[in-house]
Amino acid sequence: MKFVQPSEIQQNPSIMDQLKHLRDKIDVIDSELLRLISSRAGLAREIGQLKNGIVYRPEREAQVLARLNLLNQGPLANEHIARIFTEIMSLCRSMEEPLSVAYLGPQGTFSEEAALKRFGSVVTALPCSSIDEVFRKAESGGAGYGVVPVENSTEGAVGRTLDLLLQTPLKVCGEIALPIHQFLLAHHADLSRIKKIYSHPQSFSQCHEWLNFNLPHLTGEARINAASNADAARLAAEDENAAAVAGKKAGEVYGLTVCAKNIEDDPNNTTRFLVIGAQEVGPSGKDKTSLVMSVRNQPGAIHELLAPLAKHGVSMSRLESRPSRAGLWEYVFFVDIEGHQEDSKVSQALREVTEKAAFVKVLGSYPTV
């Protein structure tokens, strides 16, 4: 296809007429979109008045996005449609009451990106200094919801989140799968001038081979752990001879240059986040249930504990062991199963599991991504 210069367009009446015709059609569509979005917002406000103060309904929003995915014929990808309608729903929610969402901060972390992906940008975002603080905010009512990392496809489970899920009265209300792309950020692109690198320990692990190959002189004490990737970017911004491994957003927040992008060793590197809150989530039609349990100290106890799942045709997607902290060599098991706890086969299986286990806590049922 031949590229047409702007000056050629202005000198060609035929092209100008075509452009005007197409732009006029876009203007008509934009006017109709505005009318339809305004009508949708009005209906959403009416629904909000009937919901008894519950602004966020994860199951309903999941159904909306799933339906749109089925209807979408392009050219926009499903992820782009989801982003557009997440923002529309975020705006509609804000007419009732802006949601407050706590996340592991500061501004520019992957946790913030996950929170905005799920809730949209029209929220009160509350950065926290630790995962513990996110839980405290949500438990105390200082935030309506919290967003916490629970596992990474490369590095595995986030132990502190699992420990706090065992203790908290909060429920898991949703999950977010966020592709993680790491960037090398600094004030300049001259790698020879970099004397130290800041990052979160997990990000160092996710980029271990890239760093060894491209910056072999920066090992040991030259790699400095930070509380978060965004904090690493902040520290690098204070030192001309420092760099950070962090997300692109963190570089934008702290005015750093991108020296290299997508430096993670695994191109499919993904972190799973959980939404935590006080509410129970109803069935959406495509759900997951998370629970934690412990077994009695007897031979074959784990096999016996999981047998009801197989008996009732309930698929298990995750099994993670964790020290219980209640006694030496005692463990609890975090389990994800397909389906909602109100589904007949799931409720029957959970009832039998509860009879066999020493301890069972259902963390929540929520729409799966």
Q: Which residues are catalytic?
A: 271, 273
Q: Which residues, 6 or more positions from 17, have their beta carbon under 8 angstroms from its beta carbon?
A: none
The sign of the dihedral angle between the CA atoms of 223, 228, 234, 235 is negative
Q: Which residues, 6 or more positions from 247, have their beta carbon under 8 angstroms from its beta carbon?
A: 108, 109, 110, 113, 180, 181, 182, 183, 229, 230
Burial (CB count <10 Å: 0-12, 13-18, 19+), residue 184: buried
